[in-house]
Amino acid sequence: MTNQTIVKAEELERLVKQLAQEIANDVKDESPVVALVGVRSRGEILAQRLQALLAQNHQIHADRGTLDITLYRDDLNRAADKQPVVKTTEIDFDINDRLIVLVDDVLQTGRSTRAAMDALIDLGRPEAIRLAVLIDRGQRELPIRADYVAKTITTTDRNQKVSVHFHETDGCDEVVFGND
């Protein structure tokens, strides 16, 4: 199967706005203590967009940070031929007693989310951690669910990949499905 675009730019923009609305509806009374933490790298971009929408459309201030989960992944020793590329975690605020909205582009097995929660807990003790994802494609291996989901895509083949492309890193906004 070749890659096929399943979400085009206009729909992706609408989905991000929908996600911001879901978060705003849930956290409007907690906004002084809300923080968005994007999982590198696409979650980082999504968190940036959500932060702007929360401020512009909902008058909600949310701090924003970026989390690198490379060393927390449970599949590091599977890729023996590749050395992991560790990037920085950039969270310049105290996460203790804060509502953290963990932001990622795609939720599938739950393993990246577990790694992200482990990394966050090493930085402090949030009041709560909620998960916001653009695409939920099912196929969980761990008992993790997203609190905010923009779109659910049902797939049966674990080898096929759902990839989110953002203009900031990929030159276009779209979601593609295929063998990549």
Strand pairing report for 4-7 and 174-178: antiparallel
Where in the sequence is the domain holding 57, given as residue range(s)? 4-178
Q: Domain total for the chain?
A: 1
- Report the CATH number at residue 148: 3.40.50.2020
**How many residues are present in the chain?**
180
Instruction: In whole angstroms, give the CA distance from residue 28 to residue 100.
Output: 14
pLDDT band at 3 (very low <50, low <70, confident <90, very high): confident
Number of C-beta neighbours around residue 66 at 10 A: 21
Total-model pTM: 0.92
pLDDT, tens only, 44-91 = 999 999 999 999 999 999 999 999 998 887 766 655 557 667 788 999
Instruction: In whole angstroms, give the CA distance from residue 40 to residue 89.
Output: 9
Helical H segments across the chain, by residue range: 9-27, 42-58, 111-123, 167-170
